[in-house]
Amino acid sequence: MSVIGFSFPTPTRFGAGALRELPSHLARLGVRRPLVVTDAGLARTPAFGLLESVLGPSGRGRDWFVFDGVHPNPIEEDVRIPASIMREKACDGVIAIGGGSPLDAGKAARLLAKNPWADLARFYEVPHDWTGLAPLVAIPTTAGTGSEVGRSSVITLDATRRKAVLFHPELMAKLVILDPEMTVGLPPHLTAATGADALTHCIESYTCPAFHPMCDGIALEGISLVIEALPRAVRDGKDLDARGRMLVAAAMGAVAFQKDLGVVHSMAHPLSTLFGMHHGLANALCLTAGMRFCAARKPGLYRRVGTACGLPVATMPDAESDAATIRFIADFLAGIGLKGRLRDHGADPSRLEDLVGQALEDPCHKTNAVPVTESDFRQLYQETL
């Protein structure tokens, strides 16, 4: 067995009202002129109003600025513009608030604030010193991507017009605030879609064949939390207990996919790039097809996933335990409104070969539970389109 690194280092404050601690943490981090990175939709919500009230007016030794132009699937300008603002305003930190897109943009903006001429399309080819980035405070307002605890940023690059994963340990936040009060305004359909993203992270990371037993345990507990809490959060957005459990589950999913992910994410990424489909929805619509594909080639793969869902599958034959688990997941997703074919949600079946080509180039399937070929992707998309 090769030598493997384990790491779970992100400082996190969890609980209703945790946002009110932000000023003291900024002072501890030495941040006096933060840039708030978010999207235009969030900037008009009560959640952003809470942040404004906590930060207070500029002056008295602390000024703060806002970039609220992040796209639903962040593009390169969502990184370059806030980086430019950081340099222009002499910002010494970033507060990224929102869903995965603002969090990813806020993380990556710090790279270009330090090295403005860096070519993100050659991120791994051209070495740069990424140490000493401005501190990041990550405040999620959705419970899905877990980007707040991740060390990567997913951005659609100008040069390729495709999503790229920028991975570096220095991208990690110095502080994460998981405050369920910040998520109560999320509509039911987005609560469901983002929650499905967290569920997919947990399932795919658990079944990824890399050796990481700590992540396996985290992924299985994350599944249990999602199955119990997500329907409650969809039904009643003011259920702070359910909202809080989903925030923790999302963070756990992101911690778990240190192991990496699988075929479902490779299918989902092109759906966002080509059709602008919400990433969590794309995962939900592809999840059971991907699970059936993997189970057919590796029977028994989903037994412990089923157990985490509360199913009595421990003594079932392998194929039966997989089938029961996949049935349950399909019914679970349908029950929170995530159902239908990809074409029902904006995907164009005539772009099948574009989807297949991009999915094949996506790195996530390279750590799938079983190998995936071009013809496999074609069949999976045909099944879901």
Report the pLDDT value the prediction gives residue 60, as an integer from 0 to 100: 64
Same domain, 377 and 241: yes
Structure confidence by residue, pLDDT tens digits, 277-318 = 999 999 999 999 999 999 999 999 999 999 999 999 999 999
Residue 4 lies in a domain: no
The answer to whether residues 142 and 47 touch, using CB atoms and an 8 Å cutoff, is: no
Domain tally for the chain? Answer: 2
Same domain, 171 and 225: no
Amino acid found at 303: R
Same domain, 130 and 68: yes
As a whole-number percent, the residues of the chain with pLDDT over 90 amount to 86
Same domain, 33 and 179: yes
Of 183, 209, 237, which marks where a domain is finished? 183
**Domain with 226 in it: what CATH number?**
1.20.1090.10
Residue 129 lies in a domain: yes
Residue 97 lies in a domain: yes
For 134, counting Cβ atoms within 10 Å of its Cβ (0-12 exposed, 13-18 middle, 19+ buried), the class is buried
The single-letter DSSP state of residue 215 is: H
Q: Of 148, 173, 172, 153, which is closest to residue 163 (Cα–Cα)? A: 153
Residue 175 lies in a domain: yes
Amino acid found at 101: S
Helix (H), strand (E), coil (C) string for 23-56: HHHHHHHCCCCEEEECCCCHHHCHHHHHHHHHHC
Residue 1 lies in a domain: no
Domain of 70, in residue numbers:
12-183
User: Which tokens belong to 198?
Assistant: 């967290």
Same domain, 220 and 280: yes
**Residue 242, pLDDT above cutoff 60:** yes
Report the pLDDT value the prediction gives residue 250, as an integer from 0 to 100: 97
- pTM over cut 0.95: no
Amino acid found at 67: F
Phi, psi (deg, nearest 5) at residue 228: -80, -40
Structure confidence by residue, pLDDT tens digits, 140-172 = 999 999 999 988 898 988 888 888 889 899 999
Residue 75 lies in a domain: yes
Q: Report d(CA 118, CA 105) in Å as an integer.
A: 15
Same domain, 163 and 196: no
Residue 357 lies in a domain: yes
Same domain, 271 and 306: yes
**Domain with 139 in it: what CATH number?**
3.40.50.1970
Same domain, 214 and 167: no
The single-letter DSSP state of residue 134 is: P
Report the pLDDT value the prediction gives residue 6, as an integer from 0 to 100: 58
End-to-end alpha carbon distance in the chain: 40
> CA angle 203-204-210, nearest 5°?
120
Residue 6 lies in a domain: no
Same domain, 149 and 82: yes
Report the pLDDT value the prediction gives residue 163, as an integer from 0 to 100: 82
Cα four-point dihedral sign 337, 340, 345, 351: positive
Q: How far is CA 350 from the centre of its chain?
A: 28
Pairing of strands 152-156, 163-167: antiparallel
In the chain, count of helices (H) and strands (E)?
13, 8
Maximum CA pair distance of the chain? 67
Same domain, 201 and 349: yes
Of 152, 168, 183, which marks where a domain is finished? 183
Same domain, 117 and 235: no
Q: Which residue intervals of 208-262 are DSSP H helices?
A: 213-235, 240-256
**Residue 358, pLDDT above cutoff 90:** yes
Of 136, 163, 183, which marks where a domain is finished? 183
Same domain, 270 and 131: no
The single-letter DSSP state of residue 238 is: T
